[in-house]
Amino acid sequence: MEGSNLVTLIFVVAAVFVFLQLRSVLGKRTGSERPPFDPYSGTGESPADKGAETAEADNVITLPGRGETKADAYREIDRYAAPGSELNEGLRAIRDVSKDFEPATFLSGAKMAYEMIVMSFADGDRKTLKNLLSKEVYDGFAAALDEREARGETVQSSFVGIDKADIIGAEMRDSEALVTVRVVSQLISATRNKAGDVIDGDPDAVVEVKDVWTFSRDTRSRDPNWRLVATESED
């Protein structure tokens, strides 16, 4: 598959760059740094995890598929979803065309992307959202931001954490890989009007939020990025 070896190297590079900036662990870039850590692949190393003396050793990468049996390829998938189940079959189909796809490492990246998207929407950060969302989803988010700003409203949010995240669906549609994730998170959020009065939410209360999000990637493309293509909230 064209570009399959790139999947393990980067996932939404711009998004990871912003993520690292938010945590103040990325200094001024000089152009000579190693590529940013890829949260979805689980094969990269962050600068904090690896010193300069071991960086060269990391350049040796085992190509996927060499000497690998079907049992090896599906081992992690079978641990995550029962063999024979619809979810297992969907994950296997994605693994067949994306040799480095593993449910656990993908889920870790999806959780990271979830937090970034939630907070970027609260902050009105269109640049970050555009890198993480499909065009259709971004247009919907941008329209909501436009309306909020036109009313002079602001959102005060704090992301407490994710209680639980599970892959609940996976499938291939032609060359498009789709993975659906259910996330239960804890969030503090309040919307204020122009006068600064709280008109929605509570700045002192932690609320539970349940979302079902679907991420997609064209496996024929050289672009290794996964993007959010559908959102749904649960009561």
Output the DSSP codes for 75-101: HHHHHHS-TTSHHHHHHHHHHHH-TT-
Point out which residues pair with 214 in neighbouring strands: 180, 230
Total-model pTM: 0.71
- The least confident of 5-9, 68-72, 210-214, 231-235 is 5-9
What interhelical angle do 13-22 and 103-123 show, nearest 10? 70
Integer Cα distance of 132 and 118 in angstroms: 11
Give the up-direction half-sphere exposure of residue 49: CA atoms within 13 A in the CB hemisphere.
10
* Domain residue ranges in the chain: 4-234
Query: Percent of the chain having pLDDT more than 90?
Result: 65
Question: Could you give the 3-state DSSP secondary structure of residue 213?
Answer: strand
Contacts of 14 (CB under 8 A, 6+ apart): 128, 131
Classify domain 4-234 at the CATH topology level.
Nuclear Transport Factor 2; Chain: A, (3.10.450)
pLDDT category, 66, cuts 50, 70, 90?
A: low
Tokens of 2: 């064209």
Give pLDDT tens digits for 106-137. Answer: 999 999 999 999 999 999 999 999 999 999 99
